[in-house]
Amino acid sequence: MLVQPIRDRAIVKRYKDEALKSGLRNYILITFQLNMGFRIGDVVGLKVKDVKGSHMILQEQKTGKSKTQFIPNELRVELDRYTQGMSDEDYLFPSRQKNGKYPHITTTQAYRIVKGIADKLGLEHFGNHSLRKTFGRFYYEETKDLVKLQKIFNHSSQSVTMEYIGLTQDEIDETLKKFYL
User: Is 125 part of a structural domain of the chain?
Assistant: yes
Report the share of the chain in percent with pLDDT over 70: 98
Number of domains in the chain: 1
Catalytic residue among 129, 137, 139, 140: 129
- Mean of pLDDT values over 168-179: 79
15 is catalytic: no
Catalytic residue among 39, 82, 137, 140: 39
Domain extent, residue 146, equals 9-177
Q: 42 and 58 in contact (C-beta within 8 Å)?
A: yes
55: β partners:
70
Among candidates 80, 63, 91, 31, which has minimal Cα distance to 156? 63
Per DSSP, the three-state class of 92 is coil
User: Is 35 part of a structural domain of the chain?
Assistant: yes
User: Is 2 part of a structural domain of the chain?
Assistant: no
State the pLDDT at residue 86: 97
User: Is 3 part of a structural domain of the chain?
Assistant: no
CATH of the domain at 116: 1.10.443.10
129 is catalytic: yes
User: Phi and psi (nearest 5°) for 15?
Assistant: -65, -45
The band of 1, judged by pLDDT with boundaries at 50, 70 and 90, is low
Catalytic residue among 25, 82, 132, 137: 132
Q: What does the pLDDT look like over 64-86, one tens digit per residue?
A: 888 899 999 999 999 999 999 99
Q: What does the pLDDT look like over 19-34, one tens digit per residue?
A: 999 999 999 999 999 9
Could you tell me the pTM of the whole model? 0.90
Query: What is the maximal distance between C-alpha atoms in the chain?
Result: 65
User: Is 1 part of a structural domain of the chain?
Assistant: no
